[in-house]
């Protein structure tokens, strides 16, 4: 019999084949098995631990430390919000506008710390909680005083409001001396005039903004901050003397593919700031909807001249 191996031919006799069979039989069970019957490593059963072997230890995940780091980063962002750059996509202004909502991270982190039973994380969560309280707790307090003074109220009444009469009654129930309403419409303005007439005998409306006052209003005029009327000023003759009252509704902001679009709002803020700066009255109150927060650096031209009431 000829067997071809590469370029060579080898002559094999029947005696040689018989001898090979005998040799395989002598090897017995230790002989190599057919590869087709060999068990693949993936199907082999894992070895069970023997007595005396150390118990396997699970990998340690520093969950408490991670929560502590996240809590401290949140606190740092809150405290240093004014340093967040406002160059790329107006991210600084966006973060400062959403700054009050960062307080929602506190209960979430506290719940995770409780689940992980991490004292380190629980203590660390107190830091952003204290920073948030320092920033916003004063705005949550009741600032009404029992003594003499001017009580003011500002409200966006919403053009789509289906119950302007109910809103007007609620506003009158607050018993403020001066009301500044924005987003008035042609349909809703007569309703507010009718419902507020008894409590506020003096009022003035220009465009979508209006002032209602217990005291006489004079020198009513539009403040040009946008191509259409979005701001006005008037002088309220209070018992303590004249007070210049501004009502303004700055342009809306949007989050789009181009980032946080605040251009028109910021331009309106600068125009309003210029009007306030040129105001001759010794006392000035600025009310309205700024579509931003007091911490928004883009509104600094206005807020830097005033103090939060």
Residue 55 has pLDDT above 80, yes or no: no
- Residue 20, CB-side half-sphere exposure with 13 Å CA sphere: 6
Give the C-alpha separation, 82 to 285, whole Å. 25
- Angle (CA) 257-262-268 rounded to 5° is 155
**β-pair type (178-182, 152-156):** parallel
Query: What pLDDT shows up at residue 10?
Result: 41
- In the predicted model, what is the mean pLDDT of residues 162-169? 96
Residue 137 or 102, more confident: 102
- Give the C-alpha separation, 66 to 269, whole Å: 41
Domains of the chain: 63-139 (no CATH), 152-303 (3.60.10.10)
**Predicted local confidence at residue 87, as pLDDT:** 73
Torsion of CA 197, 200, 202, 208, to 10 degrees: -80
- The predicted pLDDT at position 138 comes to 76
pLDDT tops 90 at residue 287: yes
Burial 91-123 (b: 16+ CB within 10 A, else e): ebbbbbbebeebbebbeebbebbeebebeebbe
Model pLDDT, residue 48: 63
Closest CA to 275 of 307, 308, 242, 245: 245
pLDDT digits (tens, 9 = 90+) for 8-23: 434 444 444 454 445 4
What six digits make up the tokens of 114? 């409780």
| % of residues, the chain, pLDDT over 70 | 74
Task: Answer whether 194's CB lies under 8 Å from 173's CB.
Answer: no
- What is the pLDDT, as a whole number, of residue 128? 95
Confidence of residue 32 (pLDDT cuts 50, 70, 90): very low
Residue 298 contacts residue 266 (beta carbons within 8 Å): yes
3 state SS of 19: helix
Can you tell me which residue has the tokens 């203590």? 123
Q: What is the pTM of this model?
A: 0.68
Share of residues in the chain with pLDDT > 90 (%): 53
Characterise 212 by phi-psi region: left (phi > 0), alpha (psi -120 to 50), beta (else). Answer: beta
Answer whether residue 61 shows pLDDT above 50.
no
Tokens representing 101?
A: 């909502």
Residue 223, pLDDT score: 96
Give the per-residue pLDDT at 13.
45
**pLDDT (tens digit per residue) in 140-159:** 776 666 556 899 999 999 99
Does residue 72 register a pLDDT over 90? yes
Q: Is the pLDDT of residue 3 over 90?
A: no
């Amino acid at each position: 019999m000829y067997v071809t191996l590469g370029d060579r031919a080898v002559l094999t006799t029947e005696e040689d084949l018989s001898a090979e069979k005998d040799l395989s039989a002598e090897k017995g069970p230790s002989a190599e098995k057919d590869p087709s019957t060999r068990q693949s490593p993936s199907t082999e059963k894992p070895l069970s631990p023997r007595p005396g072997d150390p118990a396997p230890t699970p990998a340690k995940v520093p969950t408490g430390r991670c929560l502590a780091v996240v809590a401290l980063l949140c606190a740092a962002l809150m405290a240093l919000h004014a340093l967040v750059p406002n160059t790329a996509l107006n991210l600084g202004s966006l973060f400062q506008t959403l700054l009050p909502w960062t307080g929602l991270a506190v209960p979430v982190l506290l719940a995770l710390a409780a689940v992980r039973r991490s004292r380190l994380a629980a203590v660390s969560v107190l830091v952003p909680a204290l920073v948030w309280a320092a920033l916003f707790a004063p705005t949550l307090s009741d600032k009404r005083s029992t003594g003499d003074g001017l009580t003011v109220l500002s409200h966006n009444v919403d053009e789509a409001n289906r119950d302007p009469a109910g809103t007007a009654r609620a506003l009158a129930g607050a018993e403020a001396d001066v009301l500044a309403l924005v987003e008035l419409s042609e349909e809703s303005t007569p309703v507010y005039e009718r419902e507020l007439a008894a409590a506020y005998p003096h009022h003035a409306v220009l465009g979508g903004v209006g002032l209602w006052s217990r005291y006489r209003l004079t020198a009513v005029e539009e403040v040009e901050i946008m191509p259409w009327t979005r701001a006005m000023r008037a002088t309220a003759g209070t018992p303590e003397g004249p007070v210049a009252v501004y009502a303004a509704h700055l342009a809306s902001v949007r989050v789009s593919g181009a980032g946080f679009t605040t251009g028109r709002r910021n331009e309106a803020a600068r125009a309003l700031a210029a009007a306030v700066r040129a105001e001759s009255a010794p006392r000035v109150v600025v009310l309205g909807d700024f579509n931003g927060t007091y911490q928004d650096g883009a509104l600094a031209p206005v807020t830097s001249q005033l103090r939060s009431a």
